[in-house]
Amino acid sequence: MDCGRNEMLDSFLADEIFDQVIYEGIIDFIISSNIRNGEYEGNRFIIKKMDLYNFIIFDEYEIDGKKSIGISFSIPKKRLTKVINGYAEKQGYKLRHHE
């Protein structure tokens, strides 16, 4: 990942993984084999599940009443679960591990 993606990933973690319940909802969405694709709408970021193993994270915002997508990046499931669990562990949350 380049510097911009790392900064965006850090912002995603800080803005979205802010308590145990939210962490569990996000990680359950990511690791669930029953959800093949879809979106998880967070406070600021959207996690787009492309298939069981690939995700796109993007910042969605409104301009003049129309939704716009800012910077986005793709990330594989293994890396995404690793960074989220690493962040959650630093926050003292009880971890859920992927299947």
CB 56 within 8 A of CB 74: yes
Mean pLDDT across 70-85: 94
What integer pLDDT is reported at residue 65 of this predicted model? 87
Write down the domain spans for the chain: 3-90
Task: Supply the Cα-derived Rg of the chain in whole angstroms.
Answer: 13
DSSP three-state, residue 84: helix
Residue 87's pLDDT band (boundaries 50, 70, 90)? very high
Q: Using CB atoms within 10 Å of the CB of residue 46, give its burial: 0 to 12 exposed, 13 to 18 middle, 19+ buried.
A: middle
What integer pLDDT is reported at residue 1 of this predicted model? 44
What integer pLDDT is reported at residue 22 of this predicted model? 97
In the chain, what are the helix, strand and coil shares in percent, each to the nearest 5? 40, 30, 30
Q: What is the pLDDT of residues 20-68, one digit of tens each?
A: 999 999 999 999 999 999 999 999 999 999 999 999 999 988 888 888 8
Contacts of 19 (CB under 8 A, 6+ apart): 93
